Structure 1
């Protein structure tokens, strides 16, 4: 059996004395797109933060591409796994050009070929070269999120953590970004772990999903069960009903 790209076993995450995630366990296969869904405050984003190192107070075990995650900062981990945040404007430095934002990971990790890599990555996310020396405030929301995705891919990681990557965007732009993410996954063999509250996004982009409530995983299901409404847990069915039972993305 092949090594999963992401494996969590009884992950419990705390903020101070408050436990936010309770014994979450799941595996994501290499090349799979897996979603964490549920209401705000259910612990979805906290799992991504624990994996990425932004929420270090956790117990249990985690591994990414077969390597165990520790609690201490790990610079090498950035070459394996990167995170794309909900708000592209907040995640990009306002006083740095697109070129500087994209080149920075290469400089930190001592990787050469900066010029060619920046040009190639802009093209990969559908931005032409005229955007290269613009600042974030000179870009639209969709363009900023394309830059954020490009930056996450500069080190050629195989795993992306996607924290509500389209929820801050207009509906028409959401569709463009979702199509881009699907294309990049197919072309680069990427593994996605995505947090979202939007079930149509899950039906379009993901293979499986875990439903979370009050910090616990209540059900793990294939996307076919989501599309057909054949979810087992009562809360999962409530989420499906709240979506109107129509799961075609806008």
Structure 2
């Protein structure tokens, strides 16, 4: 069974169609990237899957279940999103404890304190952080909290929207290593949006190149590393990254 299936997906904002006829299958356990320049529609695809872009047509299926328009709590249990800005995505007046416990309360899950502490530990934060506020954390720590919040319901699919682009380079490496470990330990499927091809090389198995709301090429990460992308626009992206896509986080 595929983790995510998109069939003839169109997404509009008002009268403007920004995503056109996307067809995509992402296998369970796969890490897949959508890449392209700003405005190519890649983040809009994630928002449609998450239920944050309600004006769409076609079919979106998560773990074999077709999602409805708007809020879909069944999909939310299995598919969560991590946003680009780790400060903007956390409520500034809520403690980390309140932030992490909120999805448990919404879905009626018990044993919240133990779950919060366990998830903090899973993302590399100890109990000291539980009752702090977001402004008391560094950018990397805030993004760890955002990842923990996304994992509180034990989803199988994570949508990652530029999860390291707002962080310093050294912290980016820490978060990438964390995401790689969590995927391995929890059997997660990732759909990653990024313009950073070295990040794709490190974290993903396959990628789709988007331009003007359409997919122009789907390739394996081995093709990316070898510089063997075939479409002219894909080659332009690779050239803009310096002609290579290797990264070795520490």
TM-score by length of 2: 0.98
Q: Secondary structure at the match of 2:2?
A: coil
Runs of 4+ in structure 1 off by over 3 angstroms are none
**Residue-pair matches, total:** 248
Q: 1:171 aligns with which of 148, 161, 169?
A: 169
CA displacement at 1:73 relative to structure 2 = 1.6
Alpha-carbon contact 2:209-2:216 (below 8 Å) kept: yes
Determine whether 1:109 maps to 2:107: yes
1:62-101 to structure 2, matched below 5 A, reads 62-101=60-99
Q: Which residue of the partner structure matches residue 14 of structure 2?
A: 16
Distance 1:65 1:235 in 2: 31
Structure 1 spans left out of the alignment, 5+ residues? none
Q: Which residue of the partner structure matches residue 51 of structure 2?
A: 53
Alpha-carbon contact 2:82-2:146 (below 8 Å) kept: yes
CA displacement at 1:96 relative to structure 2 = 0.5
Q: 2:141 aligns with which of 127, 133, 143?
A: 143
Q: Secondary structure at the match of 2:217?
A: strand
Distance 1:72 1:125 in 2: 30
Alpha-carbon contact 2:52-2:70 (below 8 Å) kept: no
CA displacement at 1:103 relative to structure 2 = 0.6
Q: Which residue of the partner structure matches residue 185 of structure 1?
A: 183
CA displacement at 1:248 relative to structure 2 = 2.2
Q: Secondary structure at the match of 1:247?
A: coil
CA displacement at 1:76 relative to structure 2 = 2.3
Alpha-carbon contact 2:227-2:244 (below 8 Å) kept: no
Distance 1:106 1:69 in 2: 21
Distance 1:72 1:178 in 2: 31
Alpha-carbon contact 2:32-2:192 (below 8 Å) kept: yes
Q: 1:234 aligns with which of 228, 232, 248?
A: 232
Distance 1:206 1:245 in 2: 18
Distance 1:199 1:17 in 2: 32
CA deviation map 1:131-153 (0-9, x unaligned) = 11100000000000000000000
Q: Which residue of the partner structure matches residue 116 of structure 2?
A: 118
Distance 2:235 2:245 in 1: 13
Alpha-carbon contact 2:8-2:22 (below 8 Å) kept: yes
Distance 1:8 1:207 in 2: 18
Structure 2 spans left out of the alignment, 5+ residues? none
CA deviation map 1:26-46 (0-9, x unaligned) = 110000000000000000000
CA displacement at 1:234 relative to structure 2 = 0.4
Q: Which residue of the partner structure matches residue 152 of structure 2?
A: 154
CA displacement at 1:246 relative to structure 2 = 2.6
Distance 1:82 1:130 in 2: 25
